[in-house]
Amino acid sequence: MTLNGKVAAVTGAGSGMGRSTARLFAERGADVVVVDLDGNAATETASAIEDAAGGSAVPVTADVSDADDVAGFVELTVKEFGRIDILHNNAGIPQQSTPIEDITEEVWDRIQNVNLKSAFLGAKYAVPHMREQGGVILNTASTAGIRPRTGLSAYCASKGGMITLTKQLAYELAEDGIRVNAICPVATDTDMLPEFAAGDLSVESMRETIPLGRLAEPQDVAHAAVFLASNEAAMVTGTALEVDGGRDI
């Protein structure tokens, strides 16, 4: 599977799944715009891409919950490379396991804005550039949007919304040749994972629910993203691909 000649923007690409995906996109031939709230992390990813893959990578600092920032990185992508073929709405934040009555409105709103509103904004500003040429939108959802866990109501709501938004956009944009798919990782071995843990929800308890017996790795998600972004997935749209080791069985 190659992405030769494609231009991709990946949010949350300064670390974890986003960094692995941005690097693999570049290895498979894409030019990549590396978007992250942490500008230094975005620069590190872009530098690693250019050092290892020899591809073109441009770092961008952006808050994906801010409309001006999202419009800005989309416009920068088009200005730098002349087009945007792939938008991977990957940025997200965790929720520490918390009873519903203890979740503040501030926490609830922040999780929805970063995890779900960001995908709306990404599509809003990228789709006009994709309508004439076609394109691919990938949204990082979660198994938590399919099989909820105790204490993660805000997070599960955001990821369930991401799955439904993905299906709606796939239906709405099909006539323009724009494919939209979600990726639903199980608990993934990144720096973010321990932030979910509290009370009875621990990293080990998450691992124990996965039939294949291990956490996902960022590279597992990256390979799924490359497939969905590639021409080999030309007939795949509106799906929520479970990269879950059997968790959702």
Domains delineated in the chain: 7-243 (3.40.50.720)
Catalytic residue among 155, 170, 220, 244: 155
* pLDDT tens, position by position, 28-71: 999 999 999 999 999 999 999 998 856 799 999 999 999 999 99
Categorize the per-residue pLDDT at 197 as very low, low, confident or very high, splitting at 50, 70 and 90. low
Burial call 198-223: b when 16+ CB within 10 Å, e when fewer: eeebeeeebeeebeeeebbbbebbbb
pLDDT tens digit sequence for 13-23: 999 999 999 99
Total residues belonging to the chain: 249
Known catalytic membership, residue 125: no
| Model pLDDT for residues 113-166, shown as the tens digit of each residue | 999 999 999 999 999 999 989 999 999 999 999 998 889 999 999 999 999 999
Count of CB atoms situated within 10 Å of the CB of 231: 10
Residue 232: the pLDDT is 98
Model confidence, pTM: 0.95
